[in-house]
Every structure is written in C-alpha cells, then in structure tokens.
Amino acid sequence: MCAETLLDIAMIHSDSTIEKARNGEEKAINSLVGLWYKRIYNYSYRYFLDHDTAMDMTQKTFISMYRNIAGLKDTARFKPWLYRIVANHCHDEDRRAKRGLTISFSRNTGEVEQFEKTADPGIGPDRRLQNDEMGEIVKEALKALSPEQREVVIMKEYEGLKFREIAETLEVSENTVKSRLYYGLNSLKKALKARSITKETTYYEG
C-alpha cells in the first residue's frame, strides 16, 4: 500500500480529529495542520510557482482554519471547506499582484523539493535533467492558464479531488468545473504541443 493511499485513509478517518478541533482542542488542530500541510502547500506552489508565496498562502490558510473551524457544521465537508480557504487566499493574492504588487517567481527549488516528489535514484542524470526541464515547461504552461482554469486543473489532476468536491469548493456547478477542466487541459496540450512535447514524453509530476 503506497504512502499516498495511507494518507488518503488517514484523511478519510479524521472526522473525530475534526470534531475535536471544532471544539477548540489544540492537539487536534495541530494534527489537522500536520495531515493537510503538504497538500495545501503543493496546491499553493503549483498555483504561483513561488516557494515564499506558497508558504505565505499555506500559513494564511491554517490561520483561517484555526479561526473558523468552530463554525464548520459538517465534518464530512472539511476537505472542500479547506480547499475553498486556500483557493480564496490564492485568488486574493492574484488580485493584489494584478494591481501592481507583482510576485517574483523564484527558480530556487531547493526548499521546494522537501514537499515535492524527490528524485528517483534509479533514473540517470540525463533522464532526470530531461524530466526537470519538462516539469518546468508544464509548470509554465499551467501558470499561463486563467485562475479559474488553473485552480480546477490543480484540484483535479494534481490533488485528485472529485468533480463534486471541486464544485462544492468553488461553489459552482459540476458542469462548470468540467468545462473549465476541459478548456484548461486543452490549453495545456496546445502549449506542450508548441514545445513538441507529447503526453508520452512529459513528466507530469514536476
């Protein structure tokens, strides 16, 4: 059983922890932060491609979680509720950037690797370099999407959320989610095709 599956199982069985957190139990709140930190960070990083901004969004998300979890009525809705918080913070940061407070997109990935997939020692240096380059191209193509398309692609293709969960997170219909995903993936394919990269040769986990 892979670690990701174990993580998913832990998340599914975290209702009692969420309930304790709703009642203000600090240990339970810290447990939720530990359980969800990587996913919230990864979502934020893929949205902005900047470590410092991702860390800021992650911190703001868990501060908001701490302040508002007592008002969460249904523990089963914790996952879309938490993703809605981080999505809202990312949108706010995006709007601030467009008003002139631009983000400096860092290329220093040293710290990011502790959250992202580590290099496979079985892959040769040439293949690893090719994977890294392809990963950067995919990231740049993802950054070029509209915020609405980008968040849906990240939630579905990277975070593995179901259409229903994404619709609930973004407070839109499932058809709207599917439409944004379709056009987002279409734009990604065109961007990759322009760089002569196909699905068979692209390393998507970068």
What is the structure's pLDDT at 200? 47
What is the residue extent of each domain of the chain? 1-116, 120-206
pTM, 2 dp? 0.72
Class of domain 1-116: mainly alpha
What confidence tens digit (pLDDT) does each residue in 103-144 have? 333 333 333 333 333 334 444 444 444 445 666 777 788 888
The architecture that CATH gives domain 120-206 is Orthogonal Bundle (1.10)
CA 192/CA 186 separation, integer angstroms:
10
Q: Percentage of residues in the chain with pLDDT exceeding 90? A: 54
Amino acid 125: pLDDT: 43
Lookup result for tokens 């989610």: 177
For helices 3-12 and 26-48, angle between their N-to-C axes, nearest 10 degrees: 130
- For the segment 150-161, the average pLDDT, to the nearest whole number, is 93
Name, of 39-53, 96-110, 138-152, the range with top average pLDDT.
Answer: 39-53
Give CA–CA dist 72/199, Å, rounded: 40
- pLDDT exceeds 60 at position 5: no
pLDDT at 182 over 80: yes
Please give the Cα distance from 34 to 40 (Å, whole number).
11
Question: Per 3-state DSSP, what percentage of the chain is helix, strand, and coil (rounded to 5)?
Answer: 70, 0, 30
What is the structure's pLDDT at 106? 35
For 85, the token pair is 């918080």
Local confidence band at 11 (pLDDT 50, 70, 90 cut-offs): low
Task: Tell me what pLDDT residue 141 has.
Answer: 84
Does residue 188 surpass a pLDDT of 60?
A: yes
Cβ 198 vs Cβ 138: under 8 Å = no
What single string gives the DSSP state of each residue in 136-176? HHHHHHHHTS-HHHHHHHIIIIIS---HHHHHHHHTS-HHH
State mean pLDDT over 143-159.
92
